[in-house]
Structure 1
Amino acid sequence: MSASADVVVTDFDHHSAKFAARPFEVLEELRDAAPVAWSTAHGGFWVITDHGNVVEGLADYSTFSSTAGPAIPANPFGTRHIPVAFDPPLHALYRKVLNEWYSRAEISLREPEIKAMVVEIVTGLRERGSWDFVSDLANVSPGAVTLGILGWDVGQRLELLDVMTQSLRNQANPDPEVQKQNAQRNMWFREQILREANDRRANRRDDLMSVLANDPIVDGQPLTDEELADMVVLLILAGFHTTSGALTALLVHMEEHTDDKQRLDQDRSLIPHAIEEIVRIYSPATAHARKVTQDTEFGGVEMKKGDWTLFVNMAANHDPGAFPDPERVDLDRNRAKSVAFGWGVHRCLGLHLARLILRLEIEAVLDLLPGYRIDLDAAVRSDHMGLGYFYLSVPASIPQEA
């Protein structure tokens, strides 16, 4: 950081319970004070909260690089998540093989099987009469679909989810014993990945894991074990968590705004619009870290080579300069400027899959759970926003008279 009286200094910490308690207000206050400020948290980093600078910075990979990792502090499952942790041109070489599995066309082909799975899950909720939308739906279908694409046993979902949740909630905890436990979980995670890879090398199947374990990816060579683990870690982390957060945010919103719920129930073509609006406001991914590659002036401040920056896409999506009345859910809003799924070359690989799962989940809830009610007083939102906007519990039931 360059010492300057013009730089606004803050203690903003995206991992703190203080931020999680009132995220929109905290980001608005910070943006109003300085769209580009210096935070003293986690060793110090620039925090960028206005839409224009977030878009410009995320698009400028030559100045703001991903190669040191996309998180502050470092993700407990490593810093080199492939292809996120590479910039062009290398980024495109690794991403190409994944694009073939996560393209809009490929994901559309999976719709019948995903729909059948979601309908089976939601039918089970109806038969039970009461459930939790987090543990019984939001945390079930995204992980099951991700493991299905990889070709893993879907029965591993709960164990993987538990390991990820424990480590990510303690990402910013400096306690040496906690960090030791995070390192052990990271080692376990990678052992599972390499076990699957070795199985595919011996017995190839029609799944993504077989492709990653066997096929030439870069310069005619297959991935090394380390590269393969770094890639699959990203797919599982992203595939499990972000879609879950978006679904519960939308369900809670519909319970709080019955007019929107009624509109969606009467006109299912509005569901994709509701999904886009919810992920804009209740960002499943809070922010993206980058490292400055050269001394530069950006957003009115002097940044130095090696400085960390945090581009807060949640803040950008609440910038009234880009989205009038930004906290209001408007199903008819123009969301072309939304950075909910990122921006630039690192835009979310799984956005087509996320949109499909969310649409099918909402359709199934509306179709198969008529009259359901969410107990808003008992709903519990996470006190940790480092990853995104999440609920820990959203209990619901079908009243006896429904």
Structure 2
Amino acid sequence: MHGSEPTSPAKSTRHAPTEAVVVDFSHHSDAFAERPFQVLAELRELAPIAWSTAHDGFWVVTDHQAVIDGLADYERFTSRFGPAIPANPFGTRHIPVGLDPPLHTTYRRVLNSWFSKAEVVRREPELKTLVDEIVQDLAERGSWDFVADLADVVPGAVTLGILGWDRSRRLELLEVMARGLKNAASTDPDVVARNAEGNRWIREQILAEARDRRVNPRADLMTVLSTEPIADGVPMTDEEISDTVVFLLLAGFHTTSGALTALLVQMARQPDLRARLEQDRSLIPDAIEEVIRIFAPITALARRATEDTKLGGVAMKEGDWTLFVNVAANHDPAAFPEPETVDLGRNRAKSVAFGWGIHRCMGLHLARTILRLEVEAVFDLLPGHVIDLAGTRRARHLGIGYFYETVPAHLATA
């Protein structure tokens, strides 16, 4: 298939299924990162559900209906083996996304109260103060990078604040996570060893915080996870705490960052959109949803078949890995006409930008609020800002997320 890279040699959990369309698609390849939407459109046209020989073999699903059907059916397509192909370097059993009901329900119930819409509304003044302080600093500097100086700052600071961690630790945590995710598909022994060391280090930090809360409890989520009965009336084990906090750190630091920079870059490329949003702030939430639909920060989610079954008329075997490509579903013209066009009035009820089914993003209310506050602050405090589109660089390895590495900008008068 044009735009994908061959794998050598193809290693599969089994031979390519009979009558399946076989491709060499890898969501971690440079070729995919260079032209993701075109590659996925070509793949969907060739076969909405195809068998890829990459990463030991897996089904790649690009059809919108098949994606939402599969993600909604946790009984046939389990999350228990992790959400990524190949396995995430920071572990496979992230809680609660690495669980199915009834355990998923138990653990998510504990976390929901910290990320509910009501809780986010209550905390909005605090969030606005944080965002405004960060953006005001950019205005005083005159030039900055929207990735390193805003998009990567706010979500991490908010996440650490909810956990009750020292916010000054944001950079060291971000560095370890970013390095691991960038090299998630590497088979180089040295890289694999560094990723494993990064995973060990993060989990050591988590357990150190847990030990501290057991001695010095506070009004934070870390104390709840470390001390309170969760399942069957007993506190979480150290492993369960680690699996939960790893998930919160990865999700909290990265996805909102990717969404903000995608929107800011889109406004730079489409000045009429920027002008429209500046003049009518009530349209900002629609712009956020639409840009997230197009440039989904979570590109794909992996599941594993629990039985011999069929999806979209394609026969799958028990144990088969399946990659549900969210961004492909959101670009399926059968679901979203002219899918790459920013249409603020579009019906996005079936967008899978925040996932689908029971694993739909727990932090979506928080993410939406942070993004709105960031855009409003940029409009208010950085009027006339200019993004250097020639200097903007998107991540060369998409993996499971659509991110920018750098988005340099400055005030027009600087």
Structure 2 length as normaliser, TM-score? 0.96
Does the residue aligned with 1:110 lie in a helix, a strand or coil?
Answer: helix
Which residue identity is paired with 2:102? P
Q: Unaligned 5+ residue runs, structure 2? A: 1-13
Alignment of 1:101-140 (within 5 A): 101-140=114-153
Residue-by-residue CA offset, 1:125-172 (whole Å, 9 max, x unaligned): 111110000000000000000000000000000000000011111110
Aligned residue for 2:275, secondary structure, equals helix
Q: Does 1:341 align with 2:365?
A: no
Q: Secondary structure at the match of 2:201?
A: helix
Q: Which runs of 5+ in 1 are unaligned?
A: none
Partner of 1:65: 78
CA distance in 2, matches of 1:236, 1:19: 26
1:297 to partner: Cα distance = 1.6
Paired residues of 1:48 and 1:310 also in contact (CA < 8 A): yes
1:192-271 matches, within 5 Å, as 192-271=205-284
CA contact (8 A) 2:16 2:53 kept: no
Compared with structure 1, are the counterparts of its residues 82 and 4 closer, same or farther at alpha carbon in structure 2 (3 Å cutoff)?
Answer: closer
1:65/1:324 CA distance change after superposition, 3 Å: same
Q: What's the offset of the Cα at 1:387?
A: 2.6
Q: Does 1:317 align with 2:311?
A: no
Question: CA contact under 8 A between 2:16 and 2:22: conserved in structure 1?
Answer: no
| Equivalent residues of 2:17, 2:51 under 8 A apart | no
Equivalent pair of 2:37/2:328 in contact (CA under 8 Å): yes
**Counterpart in the other structure of 1:97:** 110
User: Percent of pairs identical after alignment?
Assistant: 67
Q: Deviations over 1:254-288 (max 9, x none)?
A: 01111110110000000000000010000100000
Would the aligned equivalents of 1:81 and 1:234 in 2 still touch at CA under 8 Å?
Answer: yes
1:18-97 aligned within 5 A: 18-97=31-110
> Displacement of 1:300 after TM fit?
2.1
Name the SS for the 1:396 alignment partner. Answer: strand
What letter corresponds to residue 259 of structure 1 in structure 2?
A: D
Structure 1: distance between partners of 2:263 and 2:295: 9
> Shift of residue 6 of structure 1?
2.8
> SS of 2:273's equivalent?
helix
Q: Which amino acid in the other structure matches residue 365 of structure 2?
A: H
The DSSP-based 3-state class of the residue aligned with 2:59 is strand
Distance 1:297 1:281 in 2: 28
Aligned pairs for 1:348-387 (under 5 A) are 348-387=361-400
- 8 Å Cα contact 2:155/2:370 also seen in 1: yes
> In the alignment, what sits opposite 1:388?
401
| 1:9 corresponds to which of 5, 15, 22 | 22
Shift of 1:333: 0.8
Residue in 2 aligned with 1:151?
A: 164
Structure 2 Cα separation of the partners of residues 307 and 6 of structure 1: 16
The answer to whether the 8 A contact 1:250-1:275 is kept is yes
Name 1:169's counterpart in structure 2: 182
Match status 1:178 vs 2:191: yes
Count of aligned pairs: 401
Secondary structure of the residue that 2:245 maps to in structure 1? helix
Question: Hey, what's the Cα distance between the residues in 2 that align with 1:400 and 1:153?
Answer: 36
What CA deviation, in whole Å up to 9, does each residue of 1:181-225 have, x standing for no partner? 111110000000000000000000000000000000001010000
| Counterpart position of 1:299 | 312
Structure 2 CA distance, aligned partners of 1:399 and 1:104?
37
| Runs (4+) off by over 6 Å | none
Structure 1 residue 2 displacement after superposition: 7.1
Q: Which amino acid aligns with 1:34?
A: A
Q: Deviations over 1:66-98 (max 9, x none)?
A: 001110000000000001111011110011000
In structure 2, how many angstroms separate the alpha carbons of the residues matched to 1:350 and 1:16?
29
Deviation at 1:399, TM superposition (A): 1.8
Q: CA deviation at 1:302?
A: 1.2
Q: Write the distance in 1 (CA, Å) between the matches of 2:194 and 2:344.
A: 44
Amino acid aligned to 2:236: L
In structure 1, give the amino acid aligned to 2:361.
C
**Structure 2 SS opposite 1:356:** helix
Answer yes or no: is the 8 Å Cα contact 1:2–1:304 preserved in 2: no
Alignment partners' CA distance in 2, 1:381 and 1:121: 23
Q: CA deviation at 1:3?
A: 5.2
Letter paired with 2:377 = A
- With over 3 angstroms needed to count, the CA separation of the structure-2 counterparts of 1:282 and 1:150, relative to structure 1, is same
Do 1:265 and 1:366's aligned partners in 2 also have CA atoms closer than 8 Å?
yes
TM-score normalised per structure 1: 0.99
- 8 A contact 1:76–1:171 mirrored in 2: yes
Q: CA deviation at 1:4?
A: 5.0
Following the alignment from structure 2 to structure 1, what is the Cα–Cα distance between the partners of residues 111 and 383? 38
| Partner Cα distance (2:363, 2:281) in 1 | 23
Aligned residue in 1 for 2:9 = none
